[in-house]
Structure 1
Amino acid sequence: MSGTSGPGELPRGARLYRLRPDGSVVVADRHGARDLGPERDLLRFIDDGQFAHYLVGDAATSPERPSNATVKLGIVGPRSAFTPHAHGGEHFVLSLGYAACGLYDSERGRVTEVPLVPGELIRIPEMMPHSFANRGTTPLTILAANTGYGIDHEDYAITAPEAERRAAAEPLDTGARTATLARADYLALAAALRDIEQVQRIRGPGVTTVRERLAARLRRLAHGLEGRR
């Protein structure tokens, strides 16, 4: 079963960020939306009046207490989607275009599709099955941050075939894997990833609306004007 809805339908633990042009940030989850504020979300950043909101690690991160994170830019081809997968660590993706994220909600037993527009950032908890698509007709640039794993690591992106292979392995070699992955139910993971694949086959990467296409034109115009300052 699949459903398309707003932030209130996000799976537990998923979080959606909206970065406004005025510099403020709204964070939304299944319980609602709120502004990030100094009282509960922001830390002093070097000087008074400057603030930071940590996405990976925390104020105590250091060479002695590393976060082992990766942050990278990605370019997604027009109207294409990644193979559904799950990461061994949590994952943040900032969309700079018109994207869509399909998330498997294990509590509800369904795929929730979250459309993203430029300036929205989504958090995906570790081992949550998901995929990321470009709804537009031009290449999409994203900023992605992952904890724990680089793209060459075997646990960076676990696909349905890999989950099925691990489930069938006798005995399952957990010695080289993290505790989180050792506890994972690979059969359930594979089934969830297959559900996302089915939604992708039926719906494709999604499309942009008339309003989004108009906004994209205006954004290109604004970018051209700003570039001439």
Structure 2
Amino acid sequence: MIPLFVDCSGRRIVIFGGGDVAARKAAYFSGKADVTIVSRSFVPAVDGLDVKRVELDLATVTGRQLALLLSGAFLVIAAISDPATNNRIGKACRAIGILFNNADGEPGDVILPAVTGGENYTIAVSTRGASPAISRFIRERIEEDFPALDKMIDLQGRLREVLRESEPDQARRTAVLWNVLEDHAVWETLLTNPGLAWDDVQRRYLHE
């Protein structure tokens, strides 16, 4: 599989299932795509999400009903407790070329990774479905170990612009950027006072 970041704005995402797994996957796309959840019932976690609901017993859904539900979908997610029903949905998706993610059953052609991010970055982690716990573990470690990552990205962007104007040597510019990244004092100051961190970087790295 090839990792990609895809803009889902305006794209139709259909999620089959109304349980906790379906709710988590719906939350993943809520507000970022046109999401429809299909199920005979829905857990409270679905409440408040920016999604459409279709009440339907998926155990008895007909081929025609399924085709109508899949119409125009960019991605379909099967998150039902019955793998056979999930597989049936996946087979229908493959027949008409719709991307498919299966929460329980035969693997689809899309895996939803564990994701963390901020205003300036997005990091996705996947074990190709082998261990969601490890994906979550890595995501949580990134969040714990780099709480100032967003602020460091801001600082690095600002620093790059200044270096382009003041330092003609590419190797020197790269060295300064890396030295700042490896400076634990800068990381610590960013958490409490980003302005002071920038002043410190200017003093120690730009006026040597």
Which range, TM-score by smaller chain? Answer: under 0.3
Query: Which structure's CA Rg is the greater one?
Result: 2
Q: Which has the higher helix share?
A: 2
